[in-house]
Amino acid sequence: MRFVVVGLFVSIAGILLMGLGAWLGREDSRYGAIEFFGMLLISLIGAGLLVAGLGPLPSWLLQLSGPYGERLPLPLRLAARDLAHRRGRAVLAITLTMMATAFGIALTVIAVGETTQSRAEYSPQARPGSLLIRPTALFVQQPFSAADANTVRAAIEQELPGVPIAQSERPSGESWYFDARAENVEIPEKAVYWDYAIGNEKLLRYLTGDQSTPYDESMAVVITSAEVKVDSVELFYEINENDETATTRTVPAVITRTADPHMETIFIPSKIVQDLGYQLQPNELIVDPTLRRVTVQEQERLDDRLDDAVAETYVERGFEASTWWMPVVAVALLIALACTLATGFGKAANARQARVLRQAGNGSATAFRWFCAFRAGLSTLYGTVLGAVAGCPAGMLLLWPLTVRITWEEPVRVPFETPWPAIVAVVVGLPLLAATLGAILAREQSSR
């Protein structure tokens, strides 16, 4: 009992350490790499103490199951006695089950929480279903050269014949400052084209999602969801290196409403920008999803046609949650299951109980199978409950330091979702599965 009490204090100390790491990582701000690793180290030490402190509990639970199991049905009573009599082997199996279950549950909680965080941070790069072909960027993305743009366009036409190709443009690298603003219009920070978009009628209709949108090469279009009135757009530009101040030009504009805030922008026809003296280069080639939705197979074939050093493809399919952790959790739970089933193998584990149960059951093997099922299920239940007790707080508290931001991006803190249904399914389902397998794999062995 003394070891149990000491272990509980160690576990409480571990929870407090993880709580400290979570508290340090609670701020909606950017952290340095040293701060991040410090918080993570504190939390990992706390998680280790939490699991280590629960180490004496399997032996204590087996010790309790003997006196309190006298009124249980015979197969269950014998299963509890068997685990208590072979405490060394059973404790090892339950401890390994606890550790594997704790790891699986903690990883599940962390993965679900990180998915919630990533979903809140996700910002689409195009309209849903759009195919974008962009120049390959090592550090800073530069527009396509004329030759590269023609090569990419030819590859698209070969793979997707007859599909109209929209094109966004930007001033060439030799050009200087250019900007566009509309009075009372604020473009959202997460907009795809947060400053402006330059192109022709195909790009305008891609931005609005409406192929009937009117196009006038001498008129700008403010695409917004705000209830504002705009009749002009101001262009700020400088063509020459020696220009000390930006020149301003006002061009007529119209409003087009959109329900998607990510597509809000100021559209400038290419001719207006070229008339200012700018040379334009293709920045993106776009296949409008209104006209054609590109499949995964078509994207892969297009990738094969394109030189990776020249262009890269992207299809906007919305937020896609990572699933890498699911096989890892499955392996952890299989290990937990295998550990508890191992307690039922061998002559010493079966012979005496089989003889007693055969006498009680008039020679029937059914009672022995019930015994094997209860033994496997009870052992797994001990391990999974202790694993859930360790894994739930470990996952919920480790999640905070693991989701802090060490980049320059503004962090977004959202309430984390704890996957309680999945946790309950593990705690209930794993013992039931172990009991079923224990009954199926039961082999009555005689002793000599």
Task: Give yes or no: residues 116 and 142 share one domain.
Answer: no
Q: How far apart are CA 59 and CA 387, in angstroms?
A: 15
For residue 194, give the DSSP letter: S
Integer angstrom CA distances of residue 158 from 132, 145, 161, 163: 16, 20, 6, 10
pTM: 0.81
Task: Give yes or no: residues 295 and 151 share one domain.
Answer: yes
Task: Give yes or no: residues 432 and 339 share one domain.
Answer: yes
Last-in-domain residue among 316, 338, 356? 316
Task: Give yes or no: residues 304 and 399 share one domain.
Answer: no
Identify the three-state secondary structure at position 200: coil
Task: Give yes or no: residues 195 and 212 share one domain.
Answer: yes
Task: Give yes or no: residues 295 and 333 share one domain.
Answer: no
Q: Tokens 């530009």 sit at which residue?
A: 237
Task: Give yes or no: residues 188 and 303 share one domain.
Answer: yes
319 touches 128 (CB < 8 A):
no
Q: Which of 48, 59, 42 is nearest to 10 (CA)?
A: 48
Burial of 29 (0-12, 13-18, 19+ CB in 10 A): exposed
Q: Tokens 């566009």 sit at which residue?
A: 180
Task: Give yes or no: residues 183 and 235 share one domain.
Answer: yes
Task: Give yes or no: residues 238 and 373 share one domain.
Answer: no
Question: First-to-last CA distance in the chain?
Answer: 38
For residue 263, the enclosing domain spans: 130-316
- Give, for all 448 residues of the chain, the pLDDT tens digit: 788 888 889 999 999 999 998 888 877 666 777 888 888 899 999 999 999 999 888 888 888 776 666 666 777 777 777 787 777 888 899 999 999 999 999 999 999 999 988 888 888 999 999 999 999 876 567 888 889 999 999 999 999 998 999 999 998 866 678 899 998 888 888 889 888 999 999 999 999 998 999 999 999 999 998 888 899 999 998 877 666 677 889 999 999 988 888 999 999 999 999 998 888 999 999 999 999 999 999 999 999 998 888 899 999 998 988 899 999 999 999 999 998 887 665 444 455 665 666 665 555 667 777 878 888 888 899 999 999 999 999 999 999 888 887 666 666 778 888 999 999 999 999 999 999 988 888 765 544 4
Last-in-domain residue among 288, 316, 344? 316
Residue 139 has a pLDDT of 58
Last-in-domain residue among 316, 341, 361? 316
Task: Give yes or no: residues 76 and 188 share one domain.
Answer: no
Task: Give yes or no: residues 308 and 203 share one domain.
Answer: yes
Integer angstrom CA distances of residue 73 from 77, 109, 362, 442: 6, 37, 16, 19
- pLDDT tens track for 165-203: 999 999 886 667 889 999 888 888 888 988 899 999 999
- pLDDT tens track for 359-406: 655 556 677 778 788 888 888 999 999 999 999 999 999 998 888 876
Task: Give yes or no: residues 164 and 309 share one domain.
Answer: yes
Q: How far apart are CA 69 and CA 366, in angstroms?
A: 21
Considering its fold, how many domains does the chain have in total?
2
